[in-house]
Structure 1
Amino acid sequence: MKKTLLLFIFFSSLITHIFSQNTKITISGSVKESGSGELLPGVSVYVQGQKMGTQTNNYGFYSLTVNTNEKITLVFSFVGYLQNVKEITSLKSQTINIELPPENRQLDEVKVLASSPQQQKLSETAQMSQVSIPVQQIKEIPAFMGEKDVLKVLQLMPGVQKGSEGNVGIYVRGGGADQNLLILDDAPVYNAYHLFGFFSVFNGDALKSVELTKGGFPARYGGRLSSVIEMQMKDGNKEKMQVEGGIGLIASRLVVQGPISKNHRSSFLVSGRRTYVDIPAALFIPTQNAGSTYYFYDLNAKVNYDFNNTNRLFLSGYFGRDKGVIADVQLNRTNNAGLNWGNATGTMRWNHIFNEKLFSNVSLIHSSYQFETSIENKGSILTSNTSLYNLSYSSSIRDFGAKVDFDFYPNSQHSIKFGVQATAHRFTPSALVVADSSLNTIRESTDIIDAVESGAYMEDTYRPFSNLRINLGLRFTSFTTNTVSYQNPEPRLSVALTLPNNLAVKASYAKMNQYIHLLSNSGVGLPTDLWVPSTSLVKPERSQQVAFGLAKDLPEKGLTLTLEGYYKKMDNIIAYKEGSTFATLSIDGPQGLARSQVNVIPFEDKVTAGQGWAYGSEFLVQKKAGRLTGWVGYTLSWIRHQFDELNFGKEFWAKYDRRHDASIVGIYQLKPRITLSATWVYGTGNAITLPDATYRSGYKIAGVDQAGVAAINYRGEFRELPDYGERNSYRAAPYHRLDASIQFHKKMKRHERTWEFSVYNLYNRRNPYFYDFKSTNNAATGITTKTLAQYSIFTLLPAFSYSFKF
């Protein structure tokens, strides 16, 4: 007992002596953009000369606990901004709010910020399989038809397979279009495409940050299998009114932002964009097609208010819609076909800082997506007795959600995040209205399913040693409808070991569950795709992904290098059965041709479930700051699927399996007023299904022709039908193209302007869009020859745009 007491006194004295040598202090605060008051996420906050640092969260808040008995120097650095260095002489916990001035692109000498040794290093973070792209780079990369597009830029990253020519659909590490969680200010966006997938709904002028996570998912993310694309809208300038916009070949955009009150505590932002191809097109549409049109538009809005230094309120929203009408007016009839779809989101967020170590955010979220198509036939337009037939079909998904997130920084070794969230879904897979005045009938059918999806999570970025970081997390998810209830745990783990010479070895594991599904024939995220819930027959999709990699920083050259390998197994992925579509209909009763008896087949009867495997390796060299910026990426991958009811139960290559995928992106500031940029992409051709042969339908009998000569006569409906072999057993031609642009900047007395001239597909490569067979008849021999023809839609396309900023 006496020896135990002596040992206790000895160790107590030793511990007291150790801790008396250093003073533990916590420094916290917010980082904003100088001149606008915009909160900056992802800013590196480091102690100069020490391997100790952190990053600001999505709301610009940071907290850093250090042990010191002497003054320290804090370095605040962020790509695209000048560094701010702050000396801390007072050895006590304190709040320090920092402003970072944007890098002035009109300076004669451009500073290479990435070469700074204080810049946060990729080799010193636990997170892997994550890339961020400065919004300024997005604005400088050559764009299709001159329209800057966030998703098209993400397609240039390794691990992200592109869809068809010109399409912004993205497929991450073997996942489908529905396996990407797109978040705009905490609200999910269910259909991110305008113009049938050629443009995304995100206006780059209104965005503050863009981040893509492909693997090693932190526990705070859930609900999808393949990726998280998180975008933050700008808060709005708190210092002064600002107007910027642009005019292009097919669309114009405008952003207005500024303070609401004189005390710089509140601001607003309003952004709008609209195409105008429908206006000149109307001049060339034939008379019988008068009324035909197509256009899209989107609106972003945000307001925020700082009640004090510890409470902030944000209100933000998005609304966008595509609308198309084809009208055919003739003497005795009028035919109209309509197609429109759109998204709406709304978010209210309240930030609260409890103390220097605890930060919280509470969000109330609304999101909805609706698709509608209709066909209207009118009979005679010469009399009042007009016969009318109308078929209207729609589908939608609507969410109301709430979430609470906490950031807790207990000490320099732990950074903890935890929270809960819940979402009430309402699915309307199909709503059908058929009206026929000739039969004097109206038929309505609506299918509605309500569900609640919830989750709770906790994750800790633990640093037991200066060269080891571990992110350990657990997420528990639940999905409940009137008929089923699913609960699943989702463990997550990421480990990074830092080695000498700025080299790190990283590994991660993530288990994911997805309870909502996108039924798609095309695989490119068209508006006709349907969102449906998990049911007793349609199980939740599941995946497990492991990844290993190396990360190296070359601070003297401003470069980061990553090399990763991954393996992902997916279960319960779904696809349409052979011959099914989004609007597969059935006919009732003995009078089967009666139009009013049309019904929609339940979606559960149209789909089948299977499994998939995706594995490969990715290489990325990236440079984010300096006169020359950009990246080089390469992906080597394999993606296979297997469904019992498809392809005779055999495995087959996924449509967007792409063995090789490469991209080179370069942006060079030739002079302060001239910026050059170019991108080159290459990819193995998509896997496609082609018929092995064709045959004629109907039957034949012996007979004679009109001249009395023996002949073969065909009876029944004559059609030529394809005979398909294995699914996706053919390959399209390789895809590659070069885009280039030049920007001319000029700073006037009261405003800035930029002229941009760009060329899409500079060397006029005819890339495949689809394939079909052409028939050629030889009159002399009577032999019909079929040849495979490749069709392309975009060759060399020049474009220009004018941008301004007041």
Structure 2
Amino acid sequence: MKSLFCLIFGLLSCYAQAQKFTIDGSIKDNATGETLIGATIFNPKTLQGTTTNTYGFYSFTQSRDLVYLRVSYVGYGPVSLKFFLSRDTTINIGLVYESTLKEIVIEGKAEDRIQESTRMGTIDVPLQQIKSLPAFLGEVDVLKVLQLLPGVQSGSEGSSGLYVRGGGPEQNLILLDGVPVYNASHLFGFFSVFNADAINRVELIKGGFPARYGGRLSSVIDINMKEGDVNKFRGEGSIGVVASRLTLEGPIIKGKTSYIVSGRRTYIDAIASPLIRIASDGDERAGYYFYDLNAKINHHINNKNRIYLSAYSGNDKAFAKSEYDNEGSDNNSKYEEALRLGWGNITTALRWNSIITNKLFSNVTATYSRYRFLVNAQSKETTTSPDTTISEFYHSEYSSGIRDFALKADLDYVPNPNHFIRFGGQLIDHRFTPGVLSYKSTDAQDTTVGAQVTHAKEFFVYAEDDFMVSPRLKINAGIHASGFVVESRFYKSLQPRVSGRFLITPDISVKGSYARMTQYIHLLSNAGIGLPTDLWVPATSKVRPEHSYLASLGAAYNYKNAYEFSVEGYYKEMEGLIEYREGADYLNVESDWQTKIETGKGNSYGAEFFMQKKTGRISGWIGYTLSWTYRKFENLNEGRRFPYRYDRRHDIKVAAVYEWRPNREFSMTWVFGSGSAVTLPKSLYAAASENPSPNSRTGNYEYYGDRNSFRMRAYHRLDVSYTTTKKTKWGERSWSIGAYNVYSRQNPFFIDITGGGGRKPKFVQYSLFPIIPSIAYRFKF
């Protein structure tokens, strides 16, 4: 009996030790209640941990025992917990923001380090760094900061377009609260549509794509809006050289329901329009402005359910109007002309978060997205004579756009610390309007020409698991299956995704990844600076989808928990790319766009080096990219491979923020890029034939040779900013003084050929921006 008692006692002890319980909850900003995405929960005793998902939820299973937990997030003071775990427990934790977080040295294994993650090509830029870096004309711009990262090209001078690892702007999936934004540019590409004051988090994924993302080839830019302060009313804003913005947030029901509203508008029209009118003696009026408006409501139904409603609306509007009188001896004529140009986005998301169990979390989202471009032109001539009055008019309107309705379900399942499983799916209803021209005049009835509206259905399902094979080996593997139905044609694609890391030492790891991506929509682009005339078109029965294959291999190193180093090599193949044929563009609406394109393929390969410091009085990063990017089309360049327009051999980015006093901050960025590829004539000659017609400026015929066979001069630029901040009775105010292109480098914007009239032809480089100073007043209350 004594032996039996000892055996039973031993078995019960083993059972008690083997019992596992789950700790779940959310991590938030202690002051505002704002969700902290990607916060780390780590047990230094068991060397196990997890992170919060996109909605701040975490689940962590441990054995029945005394548990030590450390909770941390960049820019916030860490929190340590110690308690005995004897049952499933819910712990909601609030972290305190620290403007300058000193480096923390942790004995043993540290958490949330670059070498621990399985993901490659993923960079999470702290929002405070985004706001602290120099801003063009004082306007903080999320996309311009992302251009400072390795593997990301900026395109033309001042443009907010992104060219990631050899891809075009249409190959970037830009999400705002989970809703795709199809045109992310204002002012012909010089500003992005994202107001930094309304943003909670920005993440760039350019390789090692998780299975939950799809529909694009080159990158994912995942942007989450703030949820609004659930505890108190607050606001912030700024007054700059070209625009002002204001953000208000606060509780509707304290501790339960919150809101945030953020708006921005330029006043270029208010400055330029009166000057134009004075210069034309009142005969001409013209102007331009853009605006953005973000809004979001967040409601806690109970501890397990929350709903969100978010919306964004932004528009660019340009106009010109002129009136002239022509008085004659017999009659008088009056001419009136008007042109209006506008483009913009609307996005809306209704989201329901639910904690189904302490290990299973669901997110269901219904979304709406619309992008539209519109040109309206009209003219009128009225002739008055003693006997009669004759009026003639002409009116035309050109429009294009894309509209989406979508429903998506995502589920996160965390059975134990060694597995993080995600699965779900989405259904999208597309409507494409590639370009429609309608016109009428005195002599013509209403007439409409152009491409037909096309409807399409896109769907996908996915499953992925981020799992620990051993303490050294961790893998993220998944599958993304998608389909596209258009014009009675059904395209389908099975896209495997896998990435992993192997720890060589606790501070050094090697990583590898492979991803296949499929894109069912195309962008027909006339220029590289994000002009609104670019047309979104679908894969059709004649035009196939785009596909890519991306493989990456690299290494990551964490030095004393203060500096992160990474090197990553990649190779990408792309097929199904489209471009306009020689001489074709969007204006010829009488012919179908499918008859005006060429289909081809491309590849890109290179290496990226990145060093980042996220905390401390000095923070920032240094990045270097060595890359090659090519395109090949059967009927372009005689079928020979040619460099992509934004192929740059060398690309260097430096960004730094130095807080030399608690209320004094200096920041700078410096960029260098090899010259972009351009097509220029290789020779000029006189010929007897009538076609092609000679260049009117030089009087000669031009021979171009291979496409993009010339290079512009190298591009480099230094931007600086100095910010002083002061606490006031009502809150905080700051002045920011900066300069774009400090040493006034004459960087190439485009190259033209001049000559003729007896002068020797020559190439002339045109630059856009010299040194541009800026000043901005910012405030918080």
Q: Could you say whether these structures have the same fold, taking a TM-score greater than 0.5 normalized by the shorter chain as the test?
A: yes
Query: Within the alignment, does 1:480 sit opposite 2:485 as a pair?
Result: yes
Q: Secondary structure at the match of 1:330?
A: strand
**Distance change (3 Å), C-alpha of 1:717 and 1:284:** closer
Query: Within the alignment, does 1:99 sit opposite 2:94 as a pair?
Result: yes
Q: Distance in 1 between matches of 2:471 and 2:719?
A: 44
Name 1:162's counterpart in structure 2. Answer: 154
Q: Distance in 1 between matches of 2:502 and 2:348?
A: 41
Query: Within the alignment, does 1:287 sit opposite 2:281 as a pair?
Result: yes
Instruction: Encode CA deviations 1:294-322: one digit per residue, 9 max, x unaligned.
Output: 10001000001000000000000000000
Percentage of identical aligned residues? 44
Aligned ranges 1:383-422 → 2 under 5 Å? 385-422=390-427
Aligned ranges 1:606-617 → 2 under 5 Å? 606-617=596-607
Quote how far apart the aligned CAs of 1:397 are: 0.3
In structure 2, give the amino acid aligned to 1:254.
L
Name 1:152's counterpart in structure 2. Answer: 144
Q: Distance in 2 between matches of 1:367 and 1:273?
A: 20
Quote how far apart the aligned CAs of 1:339 are: 1.4
| Aligned with residue 738 of structure 2, among 758, 762, 765 | 758
Q: Distance in 2 between matches of 1:451 and 1:721?
A: 46
Query: Within the alignment, does 1:172 sit opposite 2:164 as a pair?
Result: yes
In structure 2, give the amino acid aligned to 1:803.
R
Most deviating of 327-336 and 516-525: 327-336
CA contact (8 A) 1:177 1:524 kept: no
CA contact (8 A) 1:164 1:769 kept: yes
Query: Within the alignment, does 1:66 sit opposite 2:62 as a pair?
Result: yes
Q: Distance in 2 between matches of 1:85 and 1:690?
A: 63
Name 1:377's counterpart in structure 2. Answer: 379
In structure 2, give the amino acid aligned to 1:32.
K
Q: Distance in 2 between matches of 1:386 and 1:34?
A: 69
Q: Distance in 2 between matches of 1:294 and 1:186?
A: 30
Query: Within the alignment, does 1:24 sit opposite 2:20 as a pair?
Result: yes
| Aligned with residue 670 of structure 2, among 677, 680, 692 | 680
Aligned ranges 1:33-44 → 2 under 5 Å? 33-44=29-40
Name 2:704's counterpart in structure 1. Answer: 724
Q: Distance in 2 between matches of 1:65 and 1:475?
A: 28
| Aligned with residue 787 of structure 1, among 738, 750, 762 | 762
Most deviating of 322-331 and 465-474: 322-331
| Aligned with residue 716 of structure 2, among 722, 726, 736 | 736
Q: Distance in 1 between matches of 2:292 and 2:540?
A: 34
In structure 2, give the amino acid aligned to 1:90.
L
Q: Distance in 2 between matches of 1:58 and 1:160?
A: 24
**Distance change (3 Å), C-alpha of 1:373 and 1:723:** farther
**Distance change (3 Å), C-alpha of 1:261 and 1:696:** farther
In structure 1, give the amino acid aligned to 2:227.
D
CA contact (8 A) 1:483 1:535 kept: no
Instruction: Encode CA deviations 1:307-345: one digit per residue, 9 max, x unaligned.
Output: 000000000000000011122322242222221100000
Q: Distance in 2 between matches of 1:256 and 1:566?
A: 43
CA contact (8 A) 2:311 2:346 kept: yes
In structure 1, give the amino acid aligned to 2:151.
G
Q: Distance in 1 between matches of 2:349 and 2:59?
A: 26
Q: Distance in 2 between matches of 1:103 and 1:74?
A: 20
CA contact (8 A) 1:114 1:559 kept: no
Instruction: Encode CA deviations 1:419-458: one digit per residue, 9 max, x unaligned.
Output: 0100000001122111111x14221236200000000000
Most deviating of 58-67 and 471-480: 58-67
Name 1:339's counterpart in structure 2. Answer: 341
Q: Secondary structure at the match of 1:71?
A: strand
Most deviating of 327-336 and 119-128: 327-336
**Distance change (3 Å), C-alpha of 1:784 and 1:491:** same
Q: Distance in 1 between matches of 2:421 and 2:506?
A: 29
Quote how far apart the aligned CAs of 1:386 are: 2.1
Q: Distance in 2 between matches of 1:17 and 1:260?
A: 51
Most deviating of 442-451 and 246-255: 442-451
Most deviating of 44-53 and 400-409: 44-53
Q: Secondary structure at the match of 1:537?
A: coil
Instruction: Encode CA deviations 1:719-761: one digit per residue, 9 max, x unaligned.
Output: 7654322110000000001000000011112210110000100
Name 1:505's counterpart in structure 2. Answer: 510
Q: Secondary structure at the match of 1:380?
A: strand
Specify every segment of 5 or more residues in structure 1 that has no aligned partner in the other structure, as ranges: 1-12, 586-599, 701-713, 778-782
| Aligned with residue 275 of structure 1, among 242, 248, 266 | 266
Query: Within the alignment, does 1:213 sit opposite 2:205 as a pair?
Result: yes
In structure 2, give the amino acid aligned to 1:162.
S
Instruction: Encode CA deviations 1:234-257: one digit per residue, 9 max, x unaligned.
Output: 000001001110000000000010
Q: Distance in 2 between matches of 1:364 and 1:530?
A: 25
**Distance change (3 Å), C-alpha of 1:786 and 1:86:** same
CA contact (8 A) 1:113 1:626 kept: no
CA contact (8 A) 1:519 1:532 kept: yes
TM-score by length of 2: 0.94
Instruction: Encode CA deviations 1:263-319: one digit per residue, 9 max, x unaligned.
Output: x10000000000001101122102355331110001000001000000000000000
Q: Secondary structure at the match of 1:283?
A: helix
Q: Distance in 2 between matches of 1:114 and 1:672?
A: 23
Name 1:5's counterpart in structure 2. Answer: none
Name 2:537's counterpart in structure 1. Answer: 532
Q: Distance in 2 between matches of 1:720 and 1:334?
A: 39
In structure 2, give the amino acid aligned to 1:740.
V
Instruction: Encode CA deviations 1:148-192: one digit per residue, 9 max, x unaligned.
Output: 000000000000011111111110000011000000001000000
In structure 2, give the amino acid aligned to 1:295.
Y
| Aligned with residue 729 of structure 2, among 739, 746, 749 | 749
CA contact (8 A) 1:165 1:769 kept: yes
Cα root mean square deviation, aligned: 2.1
Query: Within the alignment, does 1:445 sit opposite 2:436 as a pair?
Result: no
Q: Secondary structure at the match of 2:453?
A: strand
CA contact (8 A) 2:156 2:528 kept: no
Quote how far apart the aligned CAs of 1:489 are: 0.3
Query: Within the alignment, does 1:249 sit opposite 2:254 as a pair?
Result: no
Query: Within the alignment, does 1:328 sit opposite 2:333 as a pair?
Result: no
Query: Within the alignment, does 1:576 sit opposite 2:580 as a pair?
Result: yes
Instruction: Encode CA deviations 1:668-722: one digit per residue, 9 max, x unaligned.
Output: 001001000000000001100012234679979xxxxxxxxxxxxx9x9997654
Q: Distance in 2 between matches of 1:193 and 1:260?
A: 33
Name 1:565's counterpart in structure 2. Answer: 569
Most deviating of 236-245 and 481-490: 481-490
CA contact (8 A) 2:629 2:647 kept: yes
Name 2:637's counterpart in structure 1. Answer: 647
CA contact (8 A) 1:79 1:113 kept: no
CA contact (8 A) 1:632 1:664 kept: yes
CA contact (8 A) 2:631 2:643 kept: yes
CA contact (8 A) 1:113 1:625 kept: no
Q: Distance in 2 between matches of 1:19 and 1:612?
A: 59
Instruction: Encode CA deviations 1:182-205: one digit per residue, 9 max, x unaligned.
Output: 000010000000000000000000
Most deviating of 223-232 and 86-95: 86-95
Name 1:706's counterpart in structure 2. Answer: none
CA contact (8 A) 2:753 2:763 kept: yes
CA contact (8 A) 2:486 2:541 kept: no
Specify every segment of 5 or more residues in structure 2 that has no aligned partner in the other structure, as ranges: 1-8, 326-333
Q: Secondary structure at the match of 1:622?
A: strand
| Aligned with residue 77 of structure 1, among 67, 72, 80 | 72
In structure 2, give the amino acid aligned to 1:30.
S
**Distance change (3 Å), C-alpha of 1:26 and 1:772:** same
Query: Within the alignment, does 1:308 sit opposite 2:312 as a pair?
Result: no
Most deviating of 24-33 and 511-520: 24-33
Query: Within the alignment, does 1:632 sit opposite 2:622 as a pair?
Result: yes
CA contact (8 A) 1:545 1:567 kept: yes
| Aligned with residue 357 of structure 1, among 359, 365, 370 | 359
Quote how far apart the aligned CAs of 1:774 are: 1.9
Quote how far apart the aligned CAs of 1:572 are: 0.8
